Amino acid sequence: MALLPILEYPDPRLKRIASPVTVFDAGLKQLVANMAETMYAAPGIGLAATQVDVHKRVIVIDVSQDKSELKVIVNPEIVAASGETMAEEGCLSVPEYYDSVRRAANVTLKAQDAAGDTYTLEADGLLAVCIQHEMDHLQGKLFVEHLSQLKQMRVKTKMKKRHREMDRN
Ligand code: GNR
Ligand code: NI
């Protein structure tokens, strides 16, 4: 297994649109294992392949307290959504910035696992929010793009400062 570097906003590669997975091979299982290890190490509750510069429709999520409920989500589709929620979000690609985003409160997800088997999942609470956050990544969209232009400008400035400081060290 391996830890994968996570792209940070405003890296243009975070804007790429991921392609559906068509081959369910050992390489996919390796990617999933590496993404899970990277998510747990970060630590985060979700990770989209886009964030590790792999532009395929692959997500890992684990919202459990004890890291015991890894969900592998390949080729996700939201087939039903209802309600509305505003929750504070963060993103491994936008470190140290948190803000509230409006999302559907309940989603029904259709997806495949790493073996290619199709399943459906009904989610609410943090899991529903995380699914929507990760699926945005696969479309090249970050949670900060749900915020006002002024906030986006401030985040971009803050991130550029962070990267300048990182480059100095
Ligand atoms: O670790 C993460 N926490 C989080 C909290 C609230 C809403 C969404 C998330 S996802 C984030 C990890 C990440 O950046 N996934 O893309
Ligand atoms: Ni994110």
pLDDT in tens, 121-130: 999 999 999 9
28: in domain: yes
Residue 2 inside a domain? The answer is no
* Phi, psi angle pair for 49, to nearest 5°: -55, -35
Distance 105 CA to ligand 2 centre (A): 18
pLDDT in tens, 59-80: 999 999 999 999 999 999 999 9
The pTM assigned to this predicted structure is 0.98
Does residue 98 belong to any structural domain of this protein?
Answer: yes
Residue 1 pLDDT > 90: no
Q: Which amino acid is residue 65, in one-letter code?
A: Q
- Our answer to whether residue 134 is catalytic in this structure is yes
Report, as an integer, the average pLDDT of 70-95. Answer: 98
**Which domain, by its residues, includes 158?**
12-168
pLDDT, averaged across the chain: 98
Q: Over the stretch 10-39, which tens digit does the pLDDT of each residue have?
A: 999 999 999 999 999 999 999 999 999 999
Which residues neighbour ligand 2 (ion) by CB within 5 Å?
91
* DSSP state string for 114-155: TT--EEEEEE-HHHHHHHHHHHHHHTT--GGGGS-HHHHHHH
Domain CATH code at residue 138: 3.90.45.10
Mean pLDDT of 76-100: 98
| CA–centroid distance, residue 90 to ligand 1 (Å) | 5
Please give the tally of structural domains in the chain. 1
Residue 7: inside a domain: no
Q: Which residues line ligand 1 (CB under 6 A)?
A: 44-48, 51, 89-93, 129-130, 133-134, 137
- Sign, CA dihedral 17-22-27-28, equals positive
Residue 103 lies in a domain: yes
Has residue 1 been placed in a domain?
Answer: no
Calculate how far, in angstroms, residue 49's C-alpha sits from the geometric centre of ligand 2. Answer: 10
Check if the beta carbon of residue 70 is closer than 8 Å to that of residue 59. Answer: no
Q: List the strands of the sheet with 106-112, edge to edge.
A: 46-48, 58-61, 71-82, 106-112, 118-123
Q: What distance in angstroms lies between residue 63's CA and the mean position of ligand 1's atoms?
A: 10
Most informative mutation of 62, 67, 92 for ligand 1 (most atoms within 8 A of CB): 92
Q: What is the pLDDT of residue 169?
A: 83
Choosing from 122, 134, 145, 165, which is the catalytic residue?
Answer: 134
